[in-house]
Amino acid sequence: MHIAVGDRAESPAPPCPARAAYSKATGSVVTNAASTGIGIDRKRLKALARRSNAPGLIYLAIWGAALAITGIGVWCTLGTVWVWPAMFVFGVAMSVPSYALSHETAHGTAFRTRWLNETVFWFTSLLYGEEPLHRRYTHTNHHTHTWFVGLDSQMPFDTPLDFRGWLYDISGLSVHRFQGRVLWQLATRRYTRLMREVSPAAELSKMTRNARLFALVYLGLAGAITAGVLWPLWFYVLPRLLGGPIMLMFNIVQHAEMQEDSPSIVESTRSFRTDRVGRFLYLNMNNHIEHHLYPQVPFYSLPALHGEVADQTPEPDPGFWRTNLDLLWVVIRRSLGRRTKAAWIRQAPHMITEGGGYSTIARATMQ
């Protein structure tokens, strides 16, 4: 499949309704490079998918240094008004990589050594706020049925997205509510139908154990703050709340305004450009089409993978801020009943309307 640069503002034609209905009924479509009609040389793919400990360890060292530097900024500004921007910067440095690393280690691709991968997976999931095995298995389902209504367990917002839904997601209210509910359900063994469907039965008890340990840590932090020990407030709770929206801005553009029920990753998923800082914070996951095509490729090889499939995929949408601003403009206009054609980002054809009302296509599955 080749999409010319000049056609980048338009999405390919929507999938056949019968094909989509069959997929929802049977769960037979596995969304990946094969379902999209994209391919690269097998030897080259094997080389790109090769795992190593070195890039991940280097990343951890730089991330640790960034946390130390921004954390010192919080410490030095305590008691002044400058503590709020300092906590925001520290919060971004903590929130975005903890989300991105928990995602990468959920795939098992961050490190070659399994115990190292799983240790980082557990720790970053604790920072992010979601029990790690639940995150792993629901995310596997998300890759298997990307943006398929009724099948994808990681649809974080209703589609089409309106301003109310955008604000609920970006503020962090949606994800914190979801994470708290999942933690409670796992800790009390109140497994949902979805949990049982996507997770191996033998893993449910491990998920309960992890959830209870997570709950103990969070309750311990809450108890310390209540008792007057305030460092968890300054160095975790408030930075997580302040920096979280930036993490969610990286996340929301992955699939917003894209095509539901399509076996084609280029129709359901967006890649976007960002600068060196953004690529570091997000572990190159701005190459999101590429990641969904070949999820076995580690984060440090995604830029090379992008080069391999560039002639078969749409040009990435503009930078992080332009992409998010364009999305915001679209959802505001949708809520006001105005024309919803985006200025810069790709959209599925049915997301572009001339005005008036709109009907919900899919409800969020992360609620």
Torsion of CA 171, 130, 317, 359, to 10 degrees: -60
Indicate the residue type of 253.
Answer: V
pLDDT of 39 reads 96
Nearest to 275 by CA among 320, 322, 317: 320
Structure tokens, 168? 């609920």
pLDDT of 357 reads 87
Q: Average pLDDT across each block of 10 residues of the chain; the chain has 367 residues. List them in order.
A: 32 34 52 96 98 98 98 98 98 98 98 98 98 98 96 96 97 96 98 96 98 98 97 98 98 98 97 98 98 98 98 97 98 97 97 92 92
Structure tokens, 148? 């398929």
- Which segments within the chain are labelled E, that is strand? none
Question: Can you give the length of the chain in residues?
Answer: 367
Structure tokens, 87? 């906590």
| Distances 95 to 84, 133, 253, 358 between C-alpha atoms, Å | 16, 19, 17, 34
